Amino acid sequence: MSYYVPEEGGDERKKKEVEALKEKYLRMYLTPEARYRLNNLKLVGNEAATILEDKIFELAVQGKLDHQIDDDELKELLLKIQSGKREMRIRW
């Protein structure tokens, strides 16, 4: 008699596959300078970098990117993402 044992790590494997695909698209659609800037932002823990990565990946998967994003264009996109956030300040 055999029992069905669900495969462990299936979600983890799927996440790794998606991350690998994301890296492939980022290498394809970002110039080396833009990739360097994005990686630096990720190293310091800037959440805008993650949002931007996801957005570029989404556009690439949908086929809406027809050119490589250079460093200047990446800076513009970062400014748009960061300007959308409102910062709350509490003054005493």
CATH number of the domain where residue 65 is located? 1.10.8.140
Side chain identity at 7, as an amino acid letter?
E
Residue with tokens 């300007």: 83
Q: Is residue 21 part of a domain?
A: yes
Find the domain containing 60 and state its range.
Answer: 16-82
- pTM of the entire structure? 0.71
| pLDDT, tens digit (0-9, with 9 covering 90-100), for 1-43 | 445 445 556 789 999 998 999 999 999 999 999 999 999 988 9
CA 41, 72, 64, 66 torsion: positive or negative?
negative
In a domain, 5, yes or no: no
pLDDT at 5: 47
Comparing CA positions, the residue from 13, 30, 24 lying closest to residue 61 is 24
DSSP label at 6? P
